[in-house]
Structure 1
Amino acid sequence: MLWRAIAEGSPGPKWAGLFAEYWPAYKKWWLREGESARPTYRDCRRALVQHMPEIVPHYDQLCALAGGGDLAARFLSFYCPPPYLSGCSQAIWTGAEPVLVRNYDYDPAAFDCLILKTDWQGRRVMGTSDGVWGLVDGMNDAGLAISLTFGGRRVVGAGFGVPLILRYVLQTCTTTEQAGAALARIPCHMAYNVTVLDAQRNYITAMLAPDRPAILTHAAVATNHQEQVDWISHARFTSTVERERFLLHRLTLHRDPQEKFINAFLRAPLYSTAFASGFGTLYTAVYRPRLQEMEVRWPGTVWSLTMADQWDTARHVKIPTPA
């Protein structure tokens, strides 16, 4: 996998180049159920104006950079996209210098392999890209960190793809309380668990779903179910209950030091090699809100990035496979 870390303060030629590179594959995915299955541009923009008005100027600017086409604009709204599943484990180590740690388990052929740093309207944000401006995890310059896992339910409804919701939270919120309020009101098209940690050491996990109100919890651990297992076969395949129990044990009954806790994400049962099934662990991310630092880890490798770094760098990563 070729990973890139790219910085561009305001959307411009770098972002336009990335969109041109990724759009053919995303267009094929977005149209896989037929164009009529996706909302119209009018409906997409109306939904953004209603639920996330603060980022509409960014959306309009990106649509223009993408060429102003109807399909691209509808895709970039993230409104009612095709369903997609991931694995993932995430947890907050709640010591003196708290960190948010997560594994992202997904299909390597459908992943951006891209870390973006932006400075839109004075708010610096860095995180792991999805859909070229959405995020699956990230942090802003106020020290607010956020991450997602699939919620383990098959229900699909009217709402936004969760990566854009994470982008919105980091663009507009500075505290966990503000993030929780935003997550509770913005409709999400599938079930997801979103964990948030701020610089004041406050944290929540929000359980989002399109068919019921969001559940805001003080849980420090999230895997791939919500309160109880809903999709039994998926739970068995991804070992969501076993991973949750393992993390809870590490945080409570057998309290690990920070580094040992982080390293546990690079081994079974948290680390997955099910790449052929689309659920291998592509990376481990570590967010340190008070230090404005993130790390991307693989077995034997740590890539450290900060808000102050000079970006535009890359590295090749070999995905481990079972012995």
Structure 2
Amino acid sequence: MGQVHSDVIQFRGSHYDFGFKQGQALKGSFILPNRKKQWGANRHFTIDEQKAKELLQSLSPAIWEEICGLADALEWPMYDAIKDFGGYYLEYVRSGCSIFTAPDYMMRNYDSSPQGYEGRFALYQPTDGGYATIGPTMQITGRTDGINEKGLAMGYNFINRRDSEDGFICNMIGRLILENCATNEEAITLLKEIPHRRSFSYVLLDASGETVVVEASPRDVKVRQSSISTNHFELLTEENRYQIEDSRRREQTIQDQQHQLKDAFSAFRLLNDSEKGVFSPKYATASGTLHTAAYFPETLEVGFALGPNRLPLMLDFKKWLDGEKLYVKRINGKLDIDASFVNMAEL
């Protein structure tokens, strides 16, 4: 069993100041040098700096200010900051993920490689526009999943990296949704407007208790209602990978057991217990479960655990929004593999 942890970041203030503070912290972190090693010679993508700037300033000028703050603190050219933090054109590693919702909660397994996991969990309350958010980060500015102050919860599922086009990747799209949308309908409108680099499903649950799954590819966006989402499309089936057997298996496992669930905790156990058949141990193929998250739109509570068979750490986001400080600096966990996250040690 490998010991892992996520660092908890809390900030209230402008986006530029948030970016600047994160940049200062990254100077002493393992994250950036580890990322540089991981990407190495394979990191040969290019970006159109002006186009990325125009898109970000159009969709969310505040997030653009956060990237400016990161660049200034790190003393980087904006071209490099956009490549690392802008979420436009960047490659994204293969991953799994399973999501199950009910009217009052979203349960989400995030499946990927430990070596690609950032190990940062952020609470951010902006003072210059945009909704307050809570959730795990990816590429610093992006979010793998989360919930905002309006009770909109979001998680995504990888579908395919084939036939990619210029556009935003999933974690920046997740951040754009959480920071700018209050309802499912607003998020659907955004997902239909923005360019998508890869094919992903975006699962949305808002304060109304309704869940939608938005199937988004670089070529089309379709919406369906479902309480379960894994790693295949039901509508845009031509975008699916050739092998979706494990995705179908996890979907069926949840379907078979969902009617036996008594409450939110039993739903969390369905996804997090290693013996239930949904939690994935496939870390060697970049599709092992790293975290299980629970989001509650009505109460704004969040549950979070790293690794299997864990009790969720419960966080009261509403109290934090009201000004209470969260006295948690680190979330600890264990994985069934001897590996660390990029925030923990030099790779």
Alignment TM-score, normalising by the size of structure 1: 0.88
> Where does residue 118 of structure 1 map in the other structure?
124
> Where does residue 48 of structure 1 map in the other structure?
56
| 1:2 maps to 2:5 | yes
SS at match of 1:187: coil
> Where does residue 134 of structure 1 map in the other structure?
142
Distance in 1 of aligned mates of 2:67 and 2:334: 34
- Segments of 5+ residues of structure 2 without an aligned counterpart are 339-347
Is 1:153–1:225's contact at 8 Å kept on the other side of the alignment?
Answer: no
> Where does residue 157 of structure 1 map in the other structure?
165
CA apart distance, 1:321: 5.6
Deviations 1:23-68 (A, max 9, x none): 2233445554344x22142232133234444533333333323323
Amino acid paired to 2:313? W
Aligned mate of 1:257, from 254, 262, 273:
262
| 1:78 maps to 2:87 | yes
Distance in 1 of aligned mates of 2:32 and 2:289: 24
4-13 or 169-178: bigger deviation: 4-13
> Where does residue 26 of structure 2 map in the other structure?
19
CA apart distance, 1:132: 0.9
Q: Percent identity?
A: 22
Distance in 1 of aligned mates of 2:66 and 2:310: 38
Amino acid paired to 1:244? E
Is 2:8–2:122's contact at 8 Å kept on the other side of the alignment?
Answer: yes
Is 1:197–1:203's contact at 8 Å kept on the other side of the alignment?
Answer: yes
| 1:317 maps to 2:333 | yes
Distance in 2 of aligned mates of 1:214 and 1:175: 18
299-308 or 184-193: bigger deviation: 299-308
SS at match of 2:163: coil
Amino acid paired to 2:247? T
Is 2:294–2:304's contact at 8 Å kept on the other side of the alignment?
Answer: yes
| 1:243 maps to 2:250 | yes
> Where does residue 107 of structure 2 map in the other structure?
101
The alignment covers a number of residue pairs equal to: 312
Is 1:99–1:289's contact at 8 Å kept on the other side of the alignment?
Answer: yes
CA shift in 2, pair 1:71/1:31, >3 Å: farther
Is 1:154–1:190's contact at 8 Å kept on the other side of the alignment?
Answer: yes
Deviations 1:286-311 (A, max 9, x none): 00111111111341332111222423
CA apart distance, 1:86: 0.7
Aligned mate of 1:64, from 56, 66, 72:
72
> Where does residue 201 of structure 2 map in the other structure?
193
Is 1:26–1:131's contact at 8 Å kept on the other side of the alignment?
Answer: no
> Where does residue 90 of structure 1 map in the other structure?
99
CA shift in 2, pair 1:300/1:225, >3 Å: same
CA shift in 2, pair 1:32/1:165, >3 Å: farther
CA apart distance, 1:248: 2.5
Distance in 2 of aligned mates of 1:131 and 1:153: 18
- Segments of 5+ residues of structure 1 without an aligned counterpart are none
CA RMSD of aligned residues (A): 2.2
SS at match of 1:296: strand
CA apart distance, 1:91: 1.4
Is 2:20–2:66's contact at 8 Å kept on the other side of the alignment?
Answer: no
Amino acid paired to 2:164? V
SS at match of 1:58: helix
Distance in 2 of aligned mates of 1:186 and 1:19: 29
**Which protein has greater RCO, CA pairs closer than 8 Å, 6+ apart?**
2
SS at match of 1:265: helix
Deviations 1:190-244 (A, max 9, x none): 011111111121221111111x2211111221101111483123x24xx100111
SS at match of 1:317: strand
CA apart distance, 1:155: 2.7
53-62 or 191-200: bigger deviation: 53-62
SS at match of 2:312: strand
119-128 or 279-288: bigger deviation: 119-128
Distance in 1 of aligned mates of 2:175 and 2:40: 23
> Where does residue 300 of structure 1 map in the other structure?
310
SS at match of 1:85: coil
Distance in 1 of aligned mates of 2:289 and 2:214: 23
CA apart distance, 1:117: 0.6
> Where does residue 345 of structure 2 map in the other structure?
none
Amino acid paired to 1:89? S
Amino acid paired to 1:72? A
CA apart distance, 1:176: 1.1
CA shift in 2, pair 1:114/1:68, >3 Å: same
> Where does residue 272 of structure 1 map in the other structure?
280
Is 2:20–2:72's contact at 8 Å kept on the other side of the alignment?
Answer: no
CA shift in 2, pair 1:18/1:240, >3 Å: farther
Amino acid paired to 1:300? R
